[in-house]
A and B are shown apart, each in its own frame.
Chain A
Amino acid sequence: MKNGKAAFTLPGVLADIPTHYCPGCQHGVAQRLVAECLDELALSEKAICIGSIGCSVFIYNYLKVDSVEAPHGRAPAVATGVKRARPEAAVFTYQGDGDLASIGMAETMHCANRGERVTIVFVNNTVYGMTGGQMAPTTMVGQRTTTCPGGRCADNEGEPIKMTEIIASLGGTAYAARVAVDSVKHVRAAKKAVRRAFEAPLNNLGLGFVEILATCPTNWKMTPVQANKRISEELIPYFPLGTYKNLMGEQAAEGTEVEG
């Protein structure tokens, strides 16, 4: 596996500075996977990052690529504008669950439905991290947050939204997968999925979408270890991992180790 080394050296596109993320926050891992894929696909010179509003808003400090900050939820619309104006660019968004699945639901679905040749990296940590842990559309039933202090109640707030399944059902989507980064095995599979989510639009097949289940120890009020355990014990059973759509078949798998 020619990329095996990448896990131990800093991807060139990733700035060598400490991040602002809390201890045990998996935004750091997700962001690093994106950086590795940008390096491996040699995209750093033509990539344009659409930042979103959430704890990852400072992604432009870490990824040495051109970036624009979108209003909360609007990253897929901004990405559409960027991609249509610069078709040669490798355009990607990086969005949280509040940003993508709540306020940005319409933009996300229409971007996918139009089959924009862009990549959406969706980091689902089941809360609004940046604003202090309010309920998100992906908050689990029973999960306590600062705006559902008694726990999310399906009757009132509905059930957690499964974005990858929704996006996979739309005609313009070329690739949609859900991954986690709670174990070495899952990180490997996640890396591959992120790479495919970049390859799909680059191969002109449609939108690439990858959902990464991630921890927010701070707002879950857990230690990093407890938070990581919650991913496998609580989240994965409800948000099953896997590839939900892939129009690339074998062609895209070239050069990528297939597993899991």
Chain B
Amino acid sequence: MSGYQDVIVAGFGGQGVMLIGTLLAYAAMEDGLNVTYMPVYGPEMRGGTANCTVVVSKDDIGSPIIHLPKSLIAMNRPSLDKFQPRVQDGGVVVVNSSLVDMALADTARVQAVGVPANEIADSLGNTKMANMVAIGAYAQLTGVVPLDVLKASLKKVISPNYAKMIPANEQAIQAGADAVRA
């Protein structure tokens, strides 16, 4: 990694976008990097969409709010519509191609990568892990944090009561990474 990366993670409420944002932030911290995580909050959340911004850097971080992000994880169509135009030229856009038509990706301008996150998660036994597939793909594409650190950070975001879900989520992260490995 070149020392700095920022990403907007966006999707429907319930797709677990805040969870993978937090996971990425924990992993960055565990990896010895500086990191900020900025969620949307309050009644805004009830509108049914959710997003968060994660900034990772070797230096101390100025703005936790990014208008023109270097990358985007779009878990649904409204998220791609809203944030893709703001992604910097050549930026990485992970698109959940299970729910979004890849024809909508602006491949001329950004590096858009379709990941059928829901289908991959389904094949692993739980659609709810689509978010993990997406973050696995994102980490693989950008190298922002090593996959093993990401997996090791799962215990920070999954409550001890659900600890038995961790291996499956590790698998989903790996499957996401495998899906985009060149």
State yes or no: do A and B touch (Cβ within 8 Å). Answer: yes
Interface residues of A, Cβ cutoff 8 Å to B: 20, 22, 130, 132, 218
- Using Cβ atoms and an 8 Å threshold, which residues of chain A touch B46? 20, 22, 218
Q: Kindly state the separation between the CA atoms of A186 and B42 in the bound complex, as whole angstroms.
A: 33
Interface residues of B, Cβ cutoff 8 Å to A: 42-43, 46
Residue of A nearest to B43 (CB): A130
- Using Cβ atoms and an 8 Å threshold, which residues of chain B touch A22? 46
Residue of B nearest to A129 (CB): B43
Sample of 5 A–B contacts (CB below 8 Å): A20-B46, A22-B46, A130-B43, A132-B42, A218-B46
Q: Nearest-CB distance from B144 to chain A (Å)? A: 31
Chain A's interface: helix, strand, loop or mixed, by majority? loop
Q: Kindly state the separation between the CA atoms of A20 and B43 in the bound complex, as whole angstroms.
A: 10
Q: Nearest-CB distance from B29 to chain A (Å)? A: 26
Q: Kindly state the separation between the CA atoms of A132 and B42 in the bound complex, as whole angstroms.
A: 8
Q: Kindly state the separation between the CA atoms of A235 and B19 in the bound complex, as whole angstroms.
A: 35
- Using Cβ atoms and an 8 Å threshold, which residues of chain B touch A132? 42
- Using Cβ atoms and an 8 Å threshold, which residues of chain A touch B43? 130
Q: Nearest-CB distance from B39 to chain A (Å)? A: 13
Q: Kindly state the separation between the CA atoms of A130 and B42 in the bound complex, as whole angstroms.
A: 8
Q: Kindly state the separation between the CA atoms of A197 and B42 in the bound complex, as whole angstroms.
A: 33
Q: Nearest-CB distance from A80 to chain B (Å)? A: 29
- Using Cβ atoms and an 8 Å threshold, which residues of chain B touch A130? 43
Q: Nearest-CB distance from A23 to chain B (Å)? A: 11
Residue of A nearest to B45 (CB): A132
- Using Cβ atoms and an 8 Å threshold, which residues of chain A touch B42? 132
Q: Nearest-CB distance from A145 to chain B (Å)? A: 17
Residue of A nearest to B46 (CB): A22
Residue of B nearest to A132 (CB): B42
Residue of B nearest to A130 (CB): B43
Residue of B nearest to A20 (CB): B46
Q: Kindly state the separation between the CA atoms of A132 and B43 in the bound complex, as whole angstroms.
A: 8
The 5 closest A-B pairs by CB, nearest first: A130-B43, A22-B46, A218-B46, A20-B46, A132-B42
Residue of B nearest to A55 (CB): B43
Q: Kindly state the separation between the CA atoms of A20 and B46 in the bound complex, as whole angstroms.
A: 9
Q: Nearest-CB distance from B31 to chain A (Å)? A: 32
Q: Kindly state the separation between the CA atoms of A80 and B58 in the bound complex, as whole angstroms.
A: 59
- Using Cβ atoms and an 8 Å threshold, which residues of chain B touch A20? 46
Q: Nearest-CB distance from B89 to chain A (Å)? A: 37
Q: Nearest-CB distance from B45 to chain A (Å)? A: 9
Q: Kindly state the separation between the CA atoms of A130 and B43 in the bound complex, as whole angstroms.
A: 7
Q: Nearest-CB distance from A69 to chain B (Å)? A: 15
Q: Nearest-CB distance from B169 to chain A (Å)? A: 24
Q: Kindly state the separation between the CA atoms of A75 and B42 in the bound complex, as whole angstroms.
A: 23
Q: Kindly state the separation between the CA atoms of A22 and B42 in the bound complex, as whole angstroms.
A: 14
Q: Kindly state the separation between the CA atoms of A218 and B43 in the bound complex, as whole angstroms.
A: 12
Q: Nearest-CB distance from B42 to chain A (Å)? A: 8
Q: Nearest-CB distance from B14 to chain A (Å)? A: 13
Q: Kindly state the separation between the CA atoms of A22 and B43 in the bound complex, as whole angstroms.
A: 11
Q: Nearest-CB distance from B12 to chain A (Å)? A: 15
Q: Kindly state the separation between the CA atoms of A218 and B46 in the bound complex, as whole angstroms.
A: 10
